Amino acid sequence: MSKVFEYYQRLAGAFGPSGREDAVREVIGGMAAEFCDDITTDALGSLICRKRGSGETRRKVLAAAHMDSIGVVATFIDDEGFIRFAPVGGLFKGDLVNIQVRFENGTRGVVSYEEKTPFKDVTLEQMFVDIGAAGKEDAEKRVKVGDFAVFDAPAFEQDGVICGPYMDNRIGCAALLLAMEQLPEAVENDLYFVFTVQEEVGLRGAGPAAFGVMPDYAVAVDVTDTGDLPEHKYAMDCHMGGGAAVKVMDRSVICAPEVRAALEEAAAGLGLKTQREILRVGGTDTSAIQKSGAGVCAGALSIATRYIHSPSEMCAVQDVVDAAAILARAMQLF
């Protein structure tokens, strides 16, 4: 078992949909404590871990990874005990049919849909969670309206590849933790490792966290789409196993050239290959960080991941290892 997979399992096993990140925060805080000088939590719940610098002209450098995940929230329980739900973050109906989900109290169920509706016409309104209840009263003993649930799927490591739920973005959190471990005892810059909340529902945690720190430079670490699947929906020069990806832009941000250059310089100094990422759909915390306060010089380091927002996301172990090493070096170059 690789260290990456070990860390991923610890983080992905913690319940943490958007707005309910307490358990993930507790796990990360315990893992980060020995590598940081102080750890605080802001009003929204983001975890801010600081390693103090000793340089006379030290800068504030922030690395961020969101610790929340997508999920569902119970909205209605019918007389037969079936639970209707709303999405917490972006869900695709094709990823949901007959998958298992787990509520915070441990109750498990299966997602299905009204089969008289042709599947091409099915929306989330025609879907429900079946917990095997005998009726509404029985279901309400285990699930209440407003309870959140997450994917409940197995994970595996095989031939240098990891597959499982919530790679987005527990694998980014693992990369930050691995980067912390590689830092020397004394560093020049003040380094902040921030694990943000509610990214999946509108990048809500990253902006306030960055405003609280007001860094000179920032790097967000997250997953990104790949262009290496058969007949992919659009051409993208970003492949799983191709190395850590340095973001150029996505739908929400154009990354600062200074940050991109520092990441590529760090990779070159380590003898590591990188790939450049242009994501045509979606965005990351980079955008919210960039726009915080009077503005932040921000960029992103991405991990190419297949099947994002499904219960079976997939990435290469070496891409995560490389991303952590590049991040640790780059944070000392600014």
Question: What's the whole-number mean pLDDT along residues 65-74?
Answer: 97
Residues 6 or more apart whose CB falls under 8 angstroms from that of 13 comprise none
Of 264, 242, 235, the closest CA to residue 315 belongs to: 242
User: What is the per-residue pLDDT for 234?
Assistant: 76
**pLDDT by residue (tens digit) across 3-25?**
999 999 999 999 999 999 999 99
User: Region 187-211: what's the mean pLDDT?
Assistant: 97
pLDDT band at 240 (very low <50, low <70, confident <90, very high): very high
Quick one: average pLDDT of 133-142? 97
Positions annotated as catalytic residues are 199
Please report the pLDDT score of residue 53 as a whole number: 92
Non-local (6+) Cβ contacts of 122 within 8 A are 93, 113, 114
Q: What percent of the chain has pLDDT over 70?
A: 100
Tell me what pLDDT residue 83 has: 98
pTM: 0.95
d(CA 163, CA 158): 8
pLDDT cut 90: percent of the chain above it:
92
Token duo for residue 241: 């196993």
Q: pLDDT band at residue 252, thresholds of 50, 70 and 90?
A: very high
Name the residue type at position 225.
D
Query: Helix, strand, or coil here: 310?
Result: coil
Mean pLDDT of 164-173: 96
- 232, pLDDT greater than 80: no
pLDDT score of 281 more than 90: no
Q: CB–CB of 308/225 below 8 Å? A: yes
Residue 194's pLDDT is: 98
**Would you state the pLDDT for residue 86?**
97
Per-residue pLDDT, averaged over 34-61, amounts to 94
Q: What domains lie within the chain, and their CATH numbers?
A: 3-69+165-330 (3.40.630.10), 71-151 (2.40.30.40)
pLDDT classification of 256: cutoffs 50, 70, 90 = very high
- Confidence at residue 236, expressed as pLDDT on a 0 to 100 scale: 85
Using CA atoms, how far apart are residues 245 and 31, in angstroms rounded to an integer? 25
In the chain, DSSP finds a helix count (H) and a strand count (E) of: 8, 17
Residue 237 has pLDDT above 90, yes or no: no
Neighbouring CB atoms inside 10 A of 209's CB total 27
Can you tell me the mean pLDDT for 62-83? Answer: 97
Strands 313-316 and 161-164: antiparallel
Structure confidence by residue, pLDDT tens digits, 200-230: 999 999 999 999 999 999 999 999 999 888 8
According to the model, what pLDDT value does residue 221 have? 98
Instruction: Please state, rounded to an integer, the average pLDDT across all residues of the chain.
Output: 95
Tokens 């809500």 identify what position? 204
Residue 280's pLDDT band (boundaries 50, 70, 90)?
confident
pLDDT of res. 272 = 98
Tell me what the mean pLDDT of segment 89-117 comes to: 95
CA distance 264 to 8: 25
